[in-house]
Amino acid sequence: MTEMEEQSGPPTTLIDPIDMSKLDTKFREQIKSMPNSEELSACFACSTCTAACPIANIWQYKPHQLIRMIILGMKEEVLSSSEIWLCLTCYQCQERCPQKVRVTDIFFDCKNLAAEEGKVPSNIIGLGKELLEKGQLYTVTADWEREDLGLEPAVPGLSVEAVKTILKETRTNKLVEGGE
């Protein structure tokens, strides 16, 4: 199948019959008990969120499908999906949803639930470890480069030690150490 065919064809997921016996009816209530799901039930599956998403074309489950899966109670599939972690948190979907469903924020809730169940991808754990060790994910440009760009030699207000101290008291620390 060519790339064009893949992008313009019908979704390849959720076409297979759903095994009703595997649905977790409490999952939707679990998500709804969190602060971002006030309008979840208002979703009418218009797919605007997916149309707005810059990377949905490479996702197995598209944003509108994930929202539908949450409503249906497909807990295992949602919390084990790579998509919730691949989300760029750009909020394009959420901004455009005509029903005011907080798509991006709901994906954050899913990540929190996945973390509670120990379903965090190893690359995300790796990023957390890096953050705890260095206080930043990306090395700040060297002093001489900043000077060449006409910037102050040091980044104003940057304290990686403070970041490290704060992170040690958070759940990120427990996650990295395998305590969550």
The answer to whether 47 contacts ligand SF4 (rule: CB under 6 A) is: yes
Alpha-carbon distance 116 to 124, whole Å? Answer: 14
Count of beta carbons in the 10 Å neighbourhood of residue 164: 16
List the one residue from 103, 113, 114, 175 that touches ligand SF4 (CB under 6 A).
103
Polymer length of the chain: 180
Give the x-and-dash track for 50-89 against ligand SF4 (CB under 6 A): --xx-xx------xx--x-------------------xxx
Alpha-carbon distance 13 to 34, whole Å? Answer: 27
Q: Which is nearer to ligand SF4, 95 or 116 (CB)?
A: 95
The answer to whether 45 contacts ligand SF4 (rule: CB under 6 A) is: yes
* Distance in Å, CB of 136 to ligand SF4, minimum: 23
The answer to whether 91 contacts ligand SF4 (rule: CB under 6 A) is: yes
The answer to whether 93 contacts ligand SF4 (rule: CB under 6 A) is: yes
Q: Which is nearer to ligand SF4, 111 or 146 (CB)?
A: 111
Q: Which residue has the tokens 């691949």?
A: 86
Q: Which amino acid is at 59?
A: W
Alpha-carbon distance 78 to 83, whole Å? Answer: 8
